[in-house]
Structure 1
Amino acid sequence: MTIIACTIDAIEPLTPTVNRVLLTPHTPINYQSGQYLQICLSDEDKRPFSIASHANSKQIELHIGASVADKYAGQALTHLQQLYAAKQPVLAEIGLGNAQLRVDSDRPLILLAGGTGFSYIYSIAQTLAKQQVNRPVFAYWGVRDQDALYHHPQMQQWANSNPLYTFVPVVQNPTTQWQGRTGLVHQAVLEDFASLADFDIYIAGPFAMAGVVRDAFVQHGAERENMFCDAFAYI
């Protein structure tokens, strides 16, 4: 874990409630795909966000969902916007968490995300592609509404890049135009696999979701030591 000043390169909307934030650390920093950082609003107030960029990227990408209901993320975004307008750097703790990609495993992977937890599996997916990892990878992204699938084209391109990669978007409240999977994202996983015993599973999303997924997947054969999610430390 390292505290470092970062230039704020851009803040741009991905959806009406999700913004992409691009940061460049002032000195080179090492982190692993699947780790997160904390934006330092003050010495005592630090807000965690998954890193969406792959581990060797010089620029750090964040996806911050700051809806009216999510004041915790919204306050961090406001802090970043104020610094960006003033052309001031932001302090961040980088390289946190224990749910990073395990590169020494040869087991197939399931990547599961709810909402902006997608940034976590996006980092892992990019790293797997760049390292040309030839293991079956099934990436599931669950959202409430179709418009929240802000990186659908990028993930479809990722899936098209390797026959071992599969991308499954799942919409909870679909419109009549939506032709894909519907319902809860973890239920889609349960429907697709008779057992989860052989998989490494990476999970990101709200704490409440993480607990439900953990229990359901263990009941479906998943090995607890092969399930990775930083939220598990708090629930």
Structure 2
Amino acid sequence: MTRILTALCLSMLLAVPAVAGTVTAVTIDGLTCAAPVLDAIAQEAGLTTALVSTSREKARAALCSGQADMALLPADVSVAKKIRNLGPVFTAEYGVIGRAGNYFRSLRELGGKIVAVVRGEEKDERISKRKGIIPRPLAGYEQCLKLLLAGKVDAVAGDICGMAHAVKKMRIPKQALGTPFILSSTPVCLFVSDGLGENIRPIDETLYLLKKKETLRKILAQYSL
């Protein structure tokens, strides 16, 4: 039911024609820090955003079809020629975290462990039964962390900024958790459609200024473990 409602909301929002000063932005489910970053870029450029979070493929398709104006997506995503890459904005990290005292330093140490993951989100293929690890799909990071602290799973795997957001929301003391073991790091870039026309230049200039003023770094610092 949740997937149906998400798809319906996505199609309704992307079907609304863009108006002056408003841009439709898309990002990937689980990439929690992308929303405030996109908002900061748009606001500084004098624009407002209609933000949609969806799967990687749907986000890419929306951008390439002209249904979306800009997106924060992994640098390796394949896009149409009419889409411009304005460069890297931040690095998304996928990792594993356990309770305090459980410091995972290799995949071998996860062998035989029950690892909570968020159902439907992209995950590292190494977190699988084929590798001797037992993934347990759950509804979201909050549920994953609750079971971790209750000792019902051994670790949580996922996007670090998504986990950090849940930790902050749940007011979990950082000392209750171990040090994250990073499995992969991916540059996330700002992609814009040629359909933005004259708005592309102020967005590009804004991205440069926000990096220079370290505004983006301060936003991203709120999503770290």
TM-score bracket for the superposition, by shorter chain length: 0.3 to 0.5
- After TM superposition, the score normalised by the length of structure 1 is 0.34
Q: Which has the higher contact order (CA 8 A, sep 6+)?
A: 2
Q: Which has the higher helix share?
A: 2
From the CA coordinates, give the structure whose radius of gyration is larger.
2
